Amino acid sequence: MAETGNRMRFRSRREVLALGLGAAALAAGGAQAQPRPPQQPKGQVVAGLSQEPTVFNPLMPGSEVDQGVWWQLFSPLWFVDPDGKLVPDLATEVPSIANGGLSADGLSWKVKLRRDAKWHDGTPFTAEDVKYTLDLINTPGFRVRNRVGHSLLRDIRIVAPDEIHWRMESAYSPYLSILALTFIVPKHVLEKASDPNTAPFNGAPVGTGPFRWGERAAGDHLLLRANSAYHGDGPYLERVVFKYIPDLTVLYTQFRTGQVDYLGIGGIAAHFVKEAQGLRPAHLALTDAVHRAYRAQPRIRPLRRQSGARGALSRHEQGGADRRALLRPAGADGVLPAARILGL
Rounded to the nearest angstrom, the gap between the alpha carbon of residue 324 and the centroid of all alpha carbons in its chain is 30
Residue 221 parent element (H or E): strand 221-226
Q: Give yes or no for residue 218 having a pLDDT over 80.
A: yes
The parent domain of residue 242 ranges over: 1-74+209-288
pLDDT at 293: 57
Q: Give yes or no for residue 18 having a pLDDT over 60.
A: no
The tens digit of pLDDT for each residue in 245-267 reads 999 999 999 999 999 999 887 78
Q: Return the higher-pLDDT residue of 97 and 24.
A: 97
Using CA atoms, how far apart are residues 251 and 265, in angstroms rounded to an integer?
13
Question: Within a domain: residue 178?
Answer: yes
Question: Within a domain: residue 260?
Answer: yes
Residue 190 parent element (H or E): helix 187-190
- CA 142, 148, 151, 153 dihedral sign is negative
Same domain, 265 and 298: no
pLDDT at 199: 98
Same domain, 244 and 295: no
Same domain, 114 and 153: yes
Question: Within a domain: residue 6?
Answer: yes
Average model confidence (pLDDT) for the chain?
82
The tens digit of pLDDT for each residue in 21-80 reads 333 333 323 333 345 667 788 899 999 999 999 999 999 999 999 999 999 999 999 999
Same domain, 250 and 180: no
Same domain, 214 and 313: no
